[in-house]
Every structure is written in C-alpha cells, then in structure tokens.
Structure 1
Amino acid sequence: MKNRKLRQLARALPLSLLLATAHAADAPSLPTADISVESSRTAPNDQFRAQVYYEATDANPGELARKVNGTIAQALQTARAYPAVKVRTAGNGTFPIYGKTGRSIESWRMRSTLALESKDAAQLSELIGKLQQTLAVSGLSAAPSAETWKKIEDETIADALAAFEARARLVAGSLNKKWKIKHVSVNTSGPQQRPPVMPMARAAMAVADAAPAPIEAGDSPVSVSVNGQIELIE
C-alpha cells in the first residue's frame, strides 16, 4: 500500500510542476518605473606630475650627447635632495637636421625628458624651480591619488544609491504602491588630469634665484549615476 502511494505521487509530480509553470507564465507582470539619479562630490588633487626636458643642437653628435647627458645627470643629482619626488626617464631622442637641399645633415638635435611625480606640492614646486635654471617645463598636472579617488568615489556611490532609494520611495508612495528593485546599475568615471595654475617657463627664461614654481592644486569632480527599474506592488 505504501509503495503504491509513492508511485502515484511520483507520477503526479511532473504534472503539478507543469501546471505551476503555466500558472506563473500566465500571471500578469507588475507595473514598473524607470529611475535615474546622479550624485557628485569633489576630491582634492593631491597627486602632482610634471615633465621637464633639456634640448640642444650641435654639429657634433658626440659633443651633443655629452652636453645633454651631462645636464640630465646634473638634474638627477639635484632631484636626489627631494626624496618625496619620484623621478624617472620619460624619453630620450636624437634627430638629424638637414640642410637646404635636404640631402646632407648639417647638425643634430637631442632632447631628453624627465618625469616627476609627488604628493608633496612644496617639494615638487621647489625642485621644479631649481631645475628651471637649465631645463624647460613641458607640462604640470594635478589629480586625486588613487587612494583619495577611491575613498571619495565610494562615498559618492553611497550617496547615489541613497538618492535612488529615496526617489523610488517617492514614486511608489505617490502611487500608493509598495516597491522592490528589479535591476540597478552604477556608472562611474575615472579621474581627469587637471593642469594647475602655473606659467610654463622655458630654460632660457629661468630665474637665477631658483624661485619655487607656483602650484595651485584645486579639486576634481567625482560623479556617479545610478539607473534602474523598480516594480510597483499592490
């Protein structure tokens, strides 16, 4: 008797599952509402990057290399006094300069570039001021460091999600409905390099007393958008 009841239950089970699936397919879908919000904060620009270079021209390529390499070596020696500034070689190239006929090389031009990076604006500013006695500045930018950006971005995401929830509550409440999230997406953008206020001075215009280069860090905007859909429940 017991085994017969088990067999009957096993035969009935697929049918019951089929009926349940059909019932779910026939069930009306819930009304939905699309919601989009944005949130923003500002992150301090606490990471500074600069490029300095030395360029010279000479008919003798060997003499040219000695002059440029010697100047760069001197700059590296100066930079060692500023441990908070990271220095690396960012480019080194030699190019021929042709005469009027374009067939013969009259001289050579060589350019060597150093990249500077630091979170200490004061040290970087002072170092650039000293290097400008012999080198030119080709660029200086500021942006939030990776750690700072992540911290502010996480806070902005939390703000945006809270705003999404508040908007969903407003929409559903205005319609006298309850609600639940159907799907949601969070969109962020990376930090942008922003040039601080600083006059670009060439080596020929260097100040004899090696005045620090002016740096105005400023802030960068951090924006987050949240898009999603909620289901409205009776």
Structure 2
Amino acid sequence: MRHFLVLATLLTGTAMAADVAPPRNIVNFESQATREVPNDLALATLFVEFTDADPARLAEKVNLALAGGLKLLKQYPTVQSGGTSFATYPLYSSKNNKQEGWRSRGELRVSSKDFAALSKLVGELQKSTGTSPMQLAEVRYAVSDEARSKAEEGLIEEGIAQFKRRAGVIQKSMSASNWKMMSMNVNTSGFRPEMRPMMMKSAAMMDAAPAPIEGGESRLQVNVSGSIQLAD
C-alpha cells in the first residue's frame, strides 16, 4: 500500500507539473550605452638589444642597461615601473646555418598619468647616460581603473534607463496594459586605441624637447540585455 501511495503521489506531482503553462508574452531585447572617455594613462615599452659570442657577457650588458633605466626611473615619482623582461636567443650564420653568437633583448615597461613626466623620462632613457641608450618600442594609452569604474557606473544607469524606455515602447506597440521584468544582464566592454610604435630617434632629435604624448579617447560601452513579460 505504501508503494502505491508513493507512486500515486509521484504521478499526481508529474501531472500537476505538466499542467503548469510556460510563461506567456515574453520579449527578449537589449540596449546599449556608450561614452568616449579620455585616456588618462600612458604606457611605454623601451628596450635594448645586444649581440655577443659570450652569453654571460651579453647578460651583463643587458642587466646594466636595465639597471640604469630603473635608476633613472626613480627620479620620476609620478611614473611607475611595469617591470622588466629579458630574452636571449641564438644567432645562426646564413651561409652554413651554424651558430655564431647570441642576441639578447631587455625591456623596461613604464606607465603614468603624468604624460609630461613620462615623455621626459622616455627622452632621457633614449640618451646615453653612462649606460647604453634604450629604444622606444611603443606607446599605448588606456583608461585607468579608477576612471573606468566611475564612467561605467554612469553608463550602467544610462543603459538600464534605456532598457526601461524600450520596454515601454514594446508595451505600447503590443497594446499591452503593463510589463514586468523577468531577467536582466549587464555587461561592460571597452575599445582601446591601437598601440603606436615609435621609430628610433636620431641624436639630433634626442637633444630636442621630448614630443608631447597625446592620449586620445577610448570608447566604453555597457550592454543591458534581458526579458520582460507583457500583461494582457
């Protein structure tokens, strides 16, 4: 008898679940809010490259150059170090494909919101200051985390307000008496400018005033997607 009661209960529950109708009048859509935000952060990568038959001597050259760059960096408190990197690879002769030496590349990455200080530092690093001068590989720009967070908060408000306005338009177009929110997703994204590679400057150019760094703008975007249910 107990087995029969359990089976009957399960069958009744299944029948009740089957009787539950899926939600009606569900509409899925999305809205967007975008804003151009000034890039307040500049990031530069500088490097040195040397060739030598002795890998130990080669490493010493690169380390001395990077140490000199880090020492100069300390004179600019508004510029932050993004770290250094070091890579060594063999060189082969084009005639007999035999190894004929080694080549090493050391990189120094720096960043700052103080564009004037960063520009001046980059210029100094490209000069010979007791160690080998560094070359500028690239400068790229971004929105700092603080500025991005503040801008995204405003964009989220705009995106949700736009979503509600569209919900009202859909309700009116469908001659519905009302609508209610069923689900909502909020996603943020950003489009940053491409990296700007810089050519090696000549000695005469290095003695001139450092070129100004122009950050430009990045486009931030918030996507709000979800579903609403229209009332009959």
- TM-score, normalisation: structure 1: 0.78
2:108 to 85, 93, 114: 114
Indicate the SS of the match to 2:214: coil
2:31 to 19, 27, 37: 37
Alpha-carbon separation, structure 2, partners of 1:22 and 1:232: 25
Match for residue 146 of structure 1?
145
Residue 112 of structure 1 deviates from its aligned partner by: 0.9
Residue 48 of structure 1 deviates from its aligned partner by: 1.4
Give the fraction of aligned pairs with identical amino acids, expressed as a percent.
36
Matched, 1:78 2:72: yes
Residue 118 of structure 1 deviates from its aligned partner by: 1.1
Number of equivalent positions? 214
Indicate the SS of the match to 2:205: coil
Q: Work out whether residues 123 and 206 of structure 2, in 8 Å CA contact, stay in contact via their aligned partners in 1.
A: no
Matched, 1:102 2:100: no
Q: Work out whether residues 66 and 84 of structure 2, in 8 Å CA contact, stay in contact via their aligned partners in 1.
A: no
Give the 3 Å change call, closer, same or farther, for CA 152–230 of structure 1 in structure 2. same
Taking only aligned residues, the RMSD between alpha carbons, in angstroms, comes to 2.9
Give the 3 Å change call, closer, same or farther, for CA 214–42 of structure 1 in structure 2. same
Matched, 1:57 2:51: yes
- TM-score, normalisation: structure 2: 0.79
Indicate the SS of the match to 2:211: coil
1:224 to 203, 213, 222: 222
Indicate the SS of the match to 1:82: coil
Describe how 1:55-204 pairs up with structure 2 within 5 A. Answer: 55-99=49-93, 100-103=95-98, 105-133=99-127, 134-174=133-173, 175-189=175-189, 191-195=190-194, 200-202=198-200
Unaligned runs of 5+ in 2: 1-11, 128-132
Alpha-carbon separation, structure 2, partners of 1:28 and 1:72: 66
Q: Which aligned segments of 4 or more residues in structure 1 are displaced greater than 4 angstroms? A: 21-29, 203-206
